[in-house]
Amino acid sequence: MRNLLRLLPVLCLVAPAALAQSNFKPGYILPPSGDTLRGEVDYRSEQRNRKLCRFRPAGAAAVTEYQPEQLLGFGYSGGRSYQSRQLPGATAEKAFLQVLALGKASLYLTVRADDREAYYAGPATTGPLELLVQRDTSIVVYNKAIGREINTLERSYPFRSKLALLMSDCPKVQASIVSMELKEQKLLKLFSEYNACVGGSTPQYVVAERKAKVRFSVLGGVYQSEMKVTENDKKLPLEAAWQPTFGVGIVVNPGFFHHKLSAGLQALYVKQSFKNSYTVPSPASSTGLEQKDVRVDFSMVQLPLLLRYTFLEGPVRPYLQAGFQIGAVFQKKAEVVTTRQLFGSSTREIEMRTMITAPVVAAGISLPTGSVGSVQLEARMGWQDSYSQATQALTSAKGLSLLAGYTFGK
């Protein structure tokens, strides 16, 4: 198992290789002339799209790379669109910003190198932009209840005054700004209401609100675990053989989650059989030995609840998962047969629990297969608590799963 555990960091290292992959989709670019050129645009992460647009007129044509200074914008057919905009600050810097709302007031999004989202707002599509900031600051305050100073977070909202000034000609939205949090769905609603309020001849656009998506998945692979049995105050190792595992799951992308986060609930069937023999000193004799034959068998349905973070949006998408797992144990039997010379054999049964819990971590890659779904390859590690009712009879166990799965839908 130790060698196979190396798969976890190996899968994590797939990310740099995936960055080099191209993922062209139907799209367009907007040169300074204003004419729309249609073809295919490389679909990358927001960090990459911020600084580079890779375009080709057709599938076999040469690829041309454009910087924000060279285009008015670009986009994907039926998907996201980007505009080249001057960022606020002392240095003159342009970037491709994702369009969230257009009108008399426009809203844009980008993702910085540290993977944090940044929102910009400004008048129409040519006016100067303002960075919308919400800041948490750690401060020390005196807590009367406990009689000492404690650290706490204080939140400030500089973006509220900027939005209030930008939308000063519509009193209707001012009340919403006063108590607003810097969240995408709330911003979209505010800009939609403001642009509808002021009207005029300015074209209006609001990106479709992110709605919750629920997808179904099937999984299969192999599972192996190891633990120890306590006999005569000694911990004797047990390791099961690799056994098949299979199951189903659901993947949920709530609309209020970060676009790289998703939650999943799965049900996986596993079966494990441990068998080993040991010769140990006999407590009945200072010089004698005794034979210990240990056997542990059980079946289990694992119910992991996992939070997944996907790093990239190309053809190879590395991800990490972490969560908590409940296991329902059945068809269980554990026993230790002790054989002593002259005394024969005796059997001690170990009472096993029907429910166990475990923290779980995993690393994998997802391979999109178009609109049908995506393939997942994953290595997963769990640390179960003791399988026995008596805490030290069987120690806590660790298990490794090597899984392949298919998730239906985009």
Reported as a single tens digit per residue, the pLDDT across 239-286 is 899 999 999 999 998 877 777 889 999 999 999 999 988 887 777 666
The pLDDT of residue 9: 53
12 has a pLDDT exceeding 50: no
Separation CA 45–CA 16 (nearest Å): 13
pLDDT in tens, 38-93: 999 988 778 888 899 999 998 778 999 999 999 999 999 888 899 999 999 878 78
Contact (Cβ atoms closer than 8 angstroms) between residue 99 and residue 143: no
- 282 or 383: which leads in pLDDT: 383
Separation CA 77–CA 138 (nearest Å): 44
Give the closest residue to 65 by CA, choosing from 85, 86, 51. Answer: 51
20 has a pLDDT exceeding 80: no
Q: ∠ CA(122), CA(127), CA(133), 5° rounding?
A: 30
For residue 12, the 8-state DSSP code is H
3 has a pLDDT exceeding 50: no
Q: ∠ CA(24), CA(27), CA(30), 5° rounding?
A: 125
For the chain, the first-to-last Cα distance in angstroms comes to 34
The pLDDT of residue 344: 79
300 has a pLDDT exceeding 90: yes
Contact (Cβ atoms closer than 8 angstroms) between residue 362 and residue 381: yes
pTM above 0.75, yes or no: no
Query: pLDDT band at 185, cuts 50/70/90?
Result: confident
pLDDT above 70 covers a percentage of the chain that reads 91
* Letter string b/e over residues 112-122, b meaning 16 or more CB atoms within 10 A of that residue's CB: eeeeeebbbbb
For residue 91, the 8-state DSSP code is S
Query: pLDDT band at 202, cuts 50/70/90?
Result: low
Q: CB neighbours (10 Å) of residue 347?
A: 9
Contact (Cβ atoms closer than 8 angstroms) between residue 62 and residue 76: no
Crossing angle for the helix pair 158-166 and 171-178, to the nearest 10 degrees: 180
18 has a pLDDT exceeding 60: no
* Letter string b/e over residues 242-264, b meaning 16 or more CB atoms within 10 A of that residue's CB: eeebbbebebebeeeeeebebbb
Separation CA 119–CA 157 (nearest Å): 13
Q: Can you say whether residue 155 is alpha, beta or left, with left for phi > 0 and alpha for psi between -120 and 50 degrees?
A: beta
